[in-house]
């Protein structure tokens, strides 16, 4: 098992997009509509996963407000979360379930530096051991915090719907079916995800999620 290609710059994304377009005319057509794809890299570490937990099942605005209060209170490190009382965590807007998830992440003691050099399978196994972190969150972390070029998130509803539209499928593919489809897009599955998300945004004005 190896780490594989790491996306570091816009040039990496452009290289992957050109490869996908050369492999499939439908990707070429989508790319003509979307234009250049975003890099979308973000930092890695404890706070990124804690932010992902905060964002679960709430609106973007609510998540931003809660995360802002957590940052102001300094509740963005494992030590601070473990030392915080239930009242402290409730005061910034965390539900009891998310308090439990946040403490589970803090207590896990993940070596985030080591994850940078770990194969994708190890990253997924390490992160999904934590209560509140599922495979989708782990895949998104690998894609955008670790820059992995060959990771996909087939459980993502927007990716499923975009694949349905772009590939003219009779129905939205389920997670397993889309995972199998995405094997053909290796070694640039993360760029394929960027392209499908971009295509979804372009096309959803004409045809929304059913």
| pLDDT tens column, 109-129 | 999 999 999 999 999 999 999
Q: What pLDDT shows up at residue 203?
A: 80
Rounded CA gap, 109 and 126, in Å?
Answer: 10
Q: What pLDDT was estimated at residue 204?
A: 74
pLDDT of residue 207: 46
CA angle 129, 138, 77 (to 5 degrees): 75
- The answer to whether 95 and 87 are in contact (CB under 8 A) is no
Token digits for 105? Answer: 């992440």
- Given a cut of 60, whether residue 206 has pLDDT beyond it is no
Alpha helix ranges (H) inside 92-134: 96-108, 112-115, 120-128
Tens-digit pLDDT profile for residues 166-191: 999 999 999 999 999 999 999 999 99
The pLDDT of residue 64 is: 95
Q: What is the CA radius of gyration of the chain?
A: 18
pLDDT value of position 17: 98
Q: For residue 187, which phi and psi values (nearest 5 degrees)?
A: -100, 25
What's the average model confidence in pLDDT over 136-147?
96
> What's the pLDDT score for residue 2?
76
For the chain, the straight-line distance linking the first and the last C-alpha, in angstroms and rounded, comes to 39
Q: Give the C-alpha separation, 178 to 160, whole Å.
A: 7
3-state secondary structure of 6: strand
- pLDDT category, 210, cuts 50, 70, 90? very low
Strand partners, 79: none
For the question of whether the overall pTM of this predicted structure is more than 0.75, the answer is yes
**209 — pLDDT class (breaks 50, 70, 90):** very low
Q: How does pLDDT run across 12-70, given as a tens digit for each residue?
A: 999 999 999 999 999 999 999 999 999 999 999 999 999 999 998 889 899 999 999 99
């Amino acid at each position: 098992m190896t780490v594989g290609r790491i996306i570091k710059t816009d040039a990496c994304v452009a290289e992957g997009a050109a490869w996908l377009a050369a492999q499939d005319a439908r990707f070429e057509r989508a790319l003509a509509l979307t234009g250049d794809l975003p890099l979308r890299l973000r930092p890695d570490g404890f706070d990124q996963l804690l932010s992902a937990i905060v964002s679960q099942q709430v609106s973007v605005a609510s998540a931003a407000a809660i995360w802002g209060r957590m940052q102001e209170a300094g509740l963005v490190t494992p030590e601070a979360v473990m030392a915080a009382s239930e009242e402290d965590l409730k005061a910034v807007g965390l539900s009891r379930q998310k308090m439990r998830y946040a403490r589970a992440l803090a207590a896990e003691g993940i070596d985030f530096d080591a994850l940078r050099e770990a194969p994708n399978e190890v990253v997924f196994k390490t992160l999904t051991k934590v209560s509140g972190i599922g495979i989708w969150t782990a895949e998104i972390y690998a894609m955008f915090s670790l820059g992995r070029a060959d990771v996909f998130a087939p459980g993502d509803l927007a990716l499923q719907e975009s694949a349905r539209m772009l590939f003219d499928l009779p129905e939205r593919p389920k997670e397993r079916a889309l995972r199998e489809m995405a094997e053909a897009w290796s070694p640039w599955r993360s760029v394929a995800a960027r392209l499908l998300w971009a295509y979804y945004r372009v096309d959803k004005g004409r045809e929304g999620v059913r």
